[in-house]
Chain A
Amino acid sequence: MNETFPWLSAAIWIPILFGAFLLWAGRDASAGVVRAVALVGSLIGLLATVPVVNGFDLQRAGLQFEEKAVWIGTLNANYHLGVDGLSIWFVPLTAFITVIAVLSGWKAISERVAQYYASFLVLSGLLIGVFSAVDGLLFYVFFEATLIPMYIIIGVWGGPNRVYAAIKFFLYTLLGSLLFLVALVYLYQGSSGSFDIFAWQRMPIGLTAQILLFLAFFAAFAVKVPMWPVHTWLPDAHVEAPTAGSVVLAAIMLKLGAYGFLRFSLPIAPDAAHHLAGFVIALSLIAVIYVGFVALVQTDMKKLVAYSSIAHMGFVTLGFFIFSQIGVEGAIAQMVSHGFVSGAMFLCIGVMYDRTHSRNIADYGGVVNTMPRFAALMMLFTMANCGLPATSGFVGEFMVILGAVQYDFWIGLAAATTLVLGAAYSLWMYKRVIFGAVANPTVGRLVDADGRELLALGLLAAAVLAMGIYPRPLTDAMHISVNQLLQQVNHSKLPAGL
């Protein structure tokens, strides 16, 4: 593939332009056309990411598909894009999940359809922007701008308590990112006026400054991941968001935080990262174990999956901070897998919710009798959610546990409890909702998933299985970049003489 064509820009701006067009031209009266345009926009966006994956050179370290142009000359900020092994998978993942999100809202949304799809398309472009920006300011602008469409999505098309959830989501994440902004400006001044992330990574920084920077980054990314104890916005946001909103939130937006750790925290403040690794590992384990127990007692399916997301993301942060190749690669694999699995779980809940308008586990039972095909697919995703081998969930968790055991046996053991806990809350929910006799007349009247729903779920199922059975392409693409990252992290950046 031709590397000179700006595929990354295309992947960012095509969905945004489609979104802007829908905002301008879309009317509720022509909802069908709006949906079709949105689907076409998201599909073209997905196609634009294909050359990025196809043309990605596994043997090359550093950025590929690089684009660089002066953006704000006065501030020395550049429109600088590129992907490496750390970010490559999130670009197609975002575009893919957007297609799923567009499909999932097909029937459920009938009011202000154009604005709804426009929000998702714009959000998709912004998210790809976050994953491919390598200029600090550009990253921040994309990172922050994603708040606005998600705020609107939750607040306008969400559930009964949507206003509270939307404002909480916005303010929580803004709090973290404002501190991140101060850190960015500090680095800008410290590097005598550069927003280049790689210049920041090379720059020597004293330990106190590194720790403060790390904490500022941590404020932004830990909220976004979210890590215990700043996770409380997530269950609210998930419960209130419309199905597609939950899908994008879980599948992509949570990854922004974890990705931020890889791009900023670890390479820019490596000494602080080593210094505070114990702290982060502790928080990650609390997320895995404690939040796992919390998930167990949920009565609302969306809340349960939301808490299970927090537990799974705990694995990701754990994998980063044991500083080993297998840990970091496992964590990234877990991020990608969680993108498919959590997205699929929320989609499954959405399919049932569209029919019954209830998310309560107690309102269901025996769904398998009326929706057999749906039940089979959901079975697969539930298995993936508890990390069954041959599903994508297994790959990341296994690698992280392996890395953790090498790092410290007890940490590995604690992390491995997720295999029990994850199975417990996932399977128990599945059993209560799907199996058994038909619990009530509403369940008795359920109609099995239609073609559109089966298509969305089927695509996700294929991804989950493909990644579980043959994960090698996934990790191969990361090797060189992760290796490089670990060299950076293990190389002290303290100024000489300190």
Chain B
Amino acid sequence: MSKFNLSAVLPEAVLLVAACLILVADLFVSERRRNLSYSMTLTALAAVALCCWNLLDGQVVQYAFGGMFVTDPMAQVLKLFACLATALGLVYAQNYARTRAMWHGELFSLALFTLLGVMVMISANNLLVIYLGLELQSLALYALVALQRDQPRAGEAAMKYFVLGALASGFLLYGMSMLYGATGSLDINEIAHRIAASQVANRPALVLATVFLVAGIGFKLGAAPFHMWVPDVYHGAPTPVTLLIASAPKIAAFAVAFRLLVEGLAPVSSDWHLMLLLLAMTSLAVGNLTAVAQSNLKRMLGYSTVGQMGFMLLAMQSGVAGGTTASAASAYSAAMFYMVTYALATLAAFGTMLLLSRQGFEAEEISDLAGLFRRQPWYAFVMAVAMFSLAGVPPTAGFYAKLVVLQALLADNSSLPVVWIAVIAVLFSLVGAYYYIRVVKVMYFDAPVDDHAFEAAPDMKIALTANGLAVLVLGVLPQYLLGLCASAMVRTLGG
């Protein structure tokens, strides 16, 4: 465990080198040849994804840097999707960024550093490393939100994001310090070991630490009541950056929740399990009910994210109830599948918005999509698939996400309270269905108000098409991704 083990950190190493290279190389690239940086970035992402893929094959749990860093199958799967999300985010950003003077090297290098932070968070096995990854990711994102610095709305969003993000980091750090104080270790495995061996005398400190950690994670996931920043930042940030915030960092937040709560604080799971349940129910209620009232698509998706995170947390909290490794694996793989399909559908939704945006037109109001079916039936279809997936209507990937979460929820003791929780959850997803199908309604049933022809780069069109089809195909044949998540989680927990 004490070894350096460089092969385990190969994806991160490649990414770091590539990010630095692109940062420097871009200085020598003229404005006209910016596409060079863009292609280098995409190549780098592909290389990183390839490294992750290679590690995933038949992998068991490996440690690096003296146990501070862990790579397990779950981490590889999440990293793969984080790479994919970042790559798609950059591909979709083209139209928007080019017309708004954002198509610079900063966009690429900051996006890569965000991804690096995300990957470090996913693989962190030490409280300090989690914090390191979190700050790397957050600082890069703060800068990205403020990329259009002459836009007051973006500046305001960056400010809000920074202040509330710092607050969340503070919560998390405070919880970590208490956890360190109570257990005397920063290593997550060691913490779990010491708590389980009842070497922790100061139990109140431990519980308080758990509270702060859950609050910090809640902030990062955007779960109610720690969701206040979500709608404003989603709304204020430039749309491509919103896309970056909405996809990979959520995956990282899930991983951190898994590392801290499931791996580190498993012995006190009875404490955080109820906290998560509370967060989940509040998020479902607040997110879904507030989203109904939104007329801005970005805000609506922001609030709907809150609701989606609620659903995901339902699966997370139910891993504890079963008590067996198998039921825990099925619950956490349900949560993981939920995150991945959520990210895919969100990417498609933001991708369509970015496709429609042009110089001086943001395409961010729901009414901006009016009549899209008559103008661009195919992209209206992609958006509709994304919306039905977020609403959880078959045959789209989002349905199976909801299904496996319900299945995890009802897994062990199908006692009546659990059934009622499931019923309440699906009723809130009915509320969710209302505002998602309202978007479909606007696209399909309303007359177009805007007749501008739009052009997009071919790679963007291909990516968006593939993204929409992926959500649909996963809705008909979900076995591959479900199996991938399940086997990754079984191997991760088994190791």
Residues of A that sit less than 8 Å from B by CB: 23, 71-75, 112, 115, 137, 140-141, 144-145, 147-148, 151-152, 155-156, 162-163, 166-167, 170-171, 174-175, 178-179, 181-182, 185-186, 188-190, 212
Contacts and interface: CB of A to CB of B under 8 A. Distances in A.
Contact of B403 (A23, A179, A181): A181
B394 A141 contact: yes
Interface string B392-410: 0111000110111011011
Contacts of A137: 403
Contacts of B482: 72, 74-75
12 contacts: A74-B486, A75-B482, A115-B373, A151-B440, A155-B444, A163-B441, A167-B438, A171-B430, A174-B433, A175-B430, A178-B429, A182-B422
A165 to B, nearest CB: 11
Interface of chain B, main secondary structure: helix
Nearest to B411: A189
A267 B403 CA distance: 24
B414 interface: yes
B438 to A, nearest CB: 7
Greatest chain A CB density within 10 A among B388, B406, B482 is at B406
B377 A115 contact: yes
Contact of B410 (A74, A151, A166, A186): A186
B471 to A, nearest CB: 13
A163 B445 contact: yes
Contacts of B430: 171, 174-175, 178
B393 A147 contact: yes
Given A115-B373, A167-B441, 15 more contacts: A71-B479, A74-B479, A75-B403, A141-B395, A148-B393, A163-B441, A171-B434, A171-B437, A174-B430, A174-B433, A175-B430, A178-B427, A178-B429, A185-B409, A186-B419
A408 to B, nearest CB: 34
Interface string B160-190: 0000000000000000000000000000000
Interface of B: 373-374, 377, 381, 388, 393-395, 399-400, 402-404, 406-407, 409-411, 414, 419, 422-423, 426-427, 429-430, 433-434, 437-438, 440-441, 444-445, 477-479, 482-483, 486
Contacts of A140: 394
B406 A73 contact: no
Contacts of A178: 426-427, 429-430
B417 to A, nearest CB: 13
A152 B407 contact: no
B408 to A, nearest CB: 9
A453 B292 CA distance: 44
Ranked 7 nearest A-B pairs via Cβ: A178-B426, A141-B394, A155-B445, A74-B482, A185-B406, A144-B394, A72-B479
A268 to B, nearest CB: 15
Nearest to B481: A74
B228 to A, nearest CB: 29
Given A115-B377, A155-B444, A179 B426 contact: yes
A167 B414 CA distance: 33
A168 B410 CA distance: 30
B394 A182 contact: no
A223 B438 CA distance: 21
Given A72-B482, A75-B407, A178-B430, A155 B419 contact: no
B264 to A, nearest CB: 27
A174 B419 CA distance: 18
Contacts of A73: 479, 483
A170 B400 CA distance: 19
Interface of chain A, main secondary structure: helix
Contacts of A162: 445
B468 to A, nearest CB: 13
A126 to B, nearest CB: 9
A42 B397 CA distance: 28
A116 to B, nearest CB: 12
A30 to B, nearest CB: 15
B423 A144 contact: no
B441 A166 contact: yes
A155 B441 contact: yes
Contacts of B410: 182, 185-186, 189
A189 B438 contact: no
A268 B419 CA distance: 18
A11 to B, nearest CB: 17
Contacts of A145: 393-395
B414 A190 contact: yes
A422 to B, nearest CB: 35
Contacts of B394: 140-141, 144-145
Nearest to A178: B426
Contacts of B406: 181-182, 185
Contact of A72 (B441, B444, B478): B478
Given A75-B407, A170-B433, A189-B407, A182 B423 contact: yes
A167 B437 contact: yes
B377 A182 contact: no
B426 A156 contact: no
A74 B423 contact: no
Nearest to B422: A182
A151 B407 contact: no
A141 B482 CA distance: 16
B373 A156 contact: yes
A182 B419 contact: yes
